[in-house]
Amino acid sequence: MDLRAMAKDKLKWDTLRGDGRAKAIGGSAAALVVLLVVLLLTLATCQGGGGSGARAKGKEDEPAKGPSEAVVRITPEDGADGVRTSGALKVTAAKGKLTEVTVKDAKDNEVEGALFGGGSVWRPATHLAAGTKYTVDAVAKDSEGRASAKHASFTTFVPRDTFVAYYTPHGGDTVGAGMPVSVTFNRPVTDRKAVEKAISVTADPKVEVAGHWFGDQRLDFRPEKYWKSGTKVTLDLNLSGVEGAEGVYGTQRKKAEFTIGRQQVSVVDAKKKTMTVTRDGKRIKTIPITSGSPATPTYNGKMVISEKLPVTRMNGETVGFGGEYDIKDVPHAMRLSTSGTFIHGNYWTPKPQFGQVNASHGCVGLHDLRGGGDNGTPGAWFFENSMIGDVVEVRNSQDETIRPDNGLNGWNMSWEKWTAPQ
């Protein structure tokens, strides 16, 4: 219906009936024209000006009908048993893209992963645990946005030959700033890369931490410089399912957290025969000492206290000195090396010789009383004011620098060598 034409025809007809009549109705005709124009504009607006309004929008938002063309595939197949822990799990989508992949074990721990190929492939970011049941739920959408989902479950194999790791420090410990994280394996590791990837050491506040292998059964971690006081360190062992050597798999999934108490470094000057104790950058005490004699000098280098013994027996036969000495009731002994270097209380050397003579078989001695105890001697004071992980650094001795793997003494290796490919 053409409303504009109808309005014009009516106005023309009224005019032909006479001027008086036209004059009488002219005002109302004009009003009618205005009204009709408003109606036309309103209708045009409601219709969206050419089909871009409500009807077109409804067609665009209408979901595509029919089944999705996307095809989800999970490898291994549902119900599989004895699945390998590395390289076996994969989720793919054909004629579509993966939008969601969730993999969990029986304890609801989720396996992290990543998409590749523009969303056509998902793979786990790490190995799976051995002897563990996993469930997989995946969703993909085709080009029309239609979803296709798939569920599967499988169980990884149980290895016959296994290895375990022993580590120090232990969870909950508070240690000194020189303490590395040292991991020792009960069997040789040939795939160092796989094992190292499965172990992480992180710190708060954050600092770069790197691992270094000493042989095929020991992996130590440390930062470039001593830990800062108050640092929280976390060791995460994700070794279950890792093939450390051909046919030999890890079984552990553990986490241990420890705290750096403070940064204490005690510098032994073998030439001056003194030890200066510094804590968090502040000098707190200087103590006269005796170190190794010219025939059996003390190692130079940075040594970490790895063991504290209130009283012990020291027999030369256990460290290659035959029957040269066998001393009972040695007080306040703290181990500095695997080979037998200690810093300890000494009751058999006359007190005036401390600070004057180097007379030991390689240890650092402090004046003390037999049997130890809280007796106020330099040996007792240093024992009470030291903790596992503190550093004792020997300078100006006539011996060589201690090997980094002789004890927890990796600080004697430069950061460049520590982090170099092995």
Q: What is the pLDDT of residues 203-252, one digit of tens each?
A: 999 999 999 999 999 999 999 999 999 999 999 999 999 999 999 999 99
Q: Chain centroid to CA 20: how far?
A: 99
Give backbone dihedrals phi and psi of 115, rounded to 5 degrees, phi first: -95, 145
**Domain assignment present for 21:** yes
Q: Tell me, what's the pLDDT at 167?
A: 98
- Cis preceding-peptide flag for 297 (omega within 30 of 0): no
pLDDT per residue over 326-373, tens digit each?
899 999 999 999 999 999 999 999 999 999 999 999 999 999 999 888
347 vs 385: CA distance, rounded Å: 19
Nearest Cα neighbor of 362 from 410, 303, 286, 287 is 303
- Is residue 320 a contact partner of residue 422, using CB atoms and an 8 Å limit? no
**ω into 169 cis (within 30 of 0):** yes
Q: Which domain holds residue 9?
A: 1-39
**Once rounded to an integer, what is the mean pLDDT over residues 393-417?**
98
- The predicted model gives 60-70 an average pLDDT of 79
| Res. 7: pLDDT tops 80 | no
Which residues have CB under 8 Å from 99's CB, separation 6+? Answer: 119, 139, 140, 141, 147
Nearest to 408 by CA among 422, 385, 392: 392
- 162, 85 Cβ separation under 8 angstroms: no
SS3 83: strand
Query: In degrees rounded to 5, what are phi and psi of residue 409?
Result: -115, 40
- Name residue, tokens 């994700």: 238
Residues 376, 245 share a domain: no
Asked whether the predicted pLDDT for residue 47 surpasses 60, the reply is no
pLDDT of residue 324: 74
Query: How many other C-beta atoms lie within 10 A of the C-beta of residue 340?
Result: 18
Domain end, chosen from 101, 133, 156, is at: 156
In a domain, 420, yes or no: no
Q: Which of 262, 283, 313 is the last residue of a domain?
A: 262
pLDDT band at 325 (very low <50, low <70, confident <90, very high): confident
Tell me which of 411 and 320 has the higher pLDDT.
Answer: 411
Q: What is the pLDDT of residue 61?
A: 58
**Section 156-171 average pLDDT:** 97
CA distance 298 to 132: 52
Same domain flag for 241 and 297: no
- Say if residues 159 and 175 touch (Cβ distance below 8 Å): no
Question: Please, which residues bridge with residue 386 across strands?
Answer: none
Residue 50 CA to chain centroid, in angstroms? 60
Same domain, yes or no, for 141 and 93? yes
Residue 52's pLDDT band, with cuts at 50, 70 and 90, is very low
Rounded to an integer, what distance in angstroms lies between the CA atom of residue 62 and that of residue 50? 20
Is residue 51 pLDDT above 50, yes or no? no
Rounded mean pLDDT, 51-76: 70
Q: Is residue 116 located within the same domain as residue 136?
A: yes
Note the pLDDT tens digit of each residue in 277-291: 999 999 999 999 999
Strand partners, 124: 113
Query: Domain check: are 236 and 343 in the same one?
Result: no
Whether residues 272 and 404 share a domain: the answer is yes
The CATH number of the domain where 252 resides is what?
2.60.40.3710
Amino acid 76 reads: P
The letter for the amino acid at 323 is G
* CA–CA dist 329, 154 (Å, integer): 60
CB 264 within 8 A of CB 278: yes
Q: Which of 29-33, 315-319, 367-371 has the lowest mean pLDDT?
A: 29-33
Better-predicted residue by pLDDT, 237 or 61: 237
- Please compute the mean of the pLDDT values over residues 97-109 and round it to a whole number: 97
How would residue 153 be classed by pLDDT, with cut points 50, 70 and 90? very high
Q: Is 70 exceeded by the pLDDT of residue 95?
A: yes
Q: Which amino acid is at 65?
A: K
Positions of E strands within 261-305: 264-269, 274-279, 282-288, 301-304
Please state, for a pLDDT cut of 70, what percent of the chain lies above it. 85
Check: CB of residue 194 under 8 Å from CB of residue 244.
yes
Report whether pLDDT(5) > 60.
no
Please give the pLDDT value at position 62. 65
Distance (Å, whole) CA 96 – CA 246: 39
- Cβ–Cβ < 8 Å for 161, 282: no
pLDDT at residue 29 in the model: 43
CATH number of the domain to which 360 belongs: 2.40.440.10
Q: Whose CA is closest to 181, among 219, 124, 152?
A: 219
387 and 270 in a common domain? yes
Q: How many domains does the chain have?
A: 4
If one compares 6 and 183, the residue with the highest pLDDT of the two is 183
The model's pLDDT over 238-292, given as tens digits with 9 standing for 90+, comes to: 999 999 999 999 999 999 999 999 999 999 999 999 999 999 999 999 999 999 9
Among 107, 135, 156, give the residue marking a domain's end.
Answer: 156
pLDDT greater than 70 at residue 14: no
Comparing 342 with 38, the larger pLDDT belongs to 342
Nearest to 146 by CA among 201, 235, 209, 64: 64
Same domain, 378 and 277: yes
**For residue 318, what pLDDT is reported?**
75
Contact in structure between 250 and 163 (CB atoms under 8 Å): yes
**pLDDT grade for 405, boundaries at 50, 70 and 90:** very high
CA 274, chain centre distance (Å): 41
Q: Which has more confidence, 30 or 76?
A: 76
In 3D space, the residue among 106, 86, 81, 105 whose CA is nearest the CA of residue 157 turns out to be 81
Is it the case that residue 196 has pLDDT exceeding 70?
yes
Q: Are residues 149 and 239 in the same domain?
A: no
Determine the Cα–Cα distance for residues 348 and 11; give it in Å rounded to an integer. Answer: 134
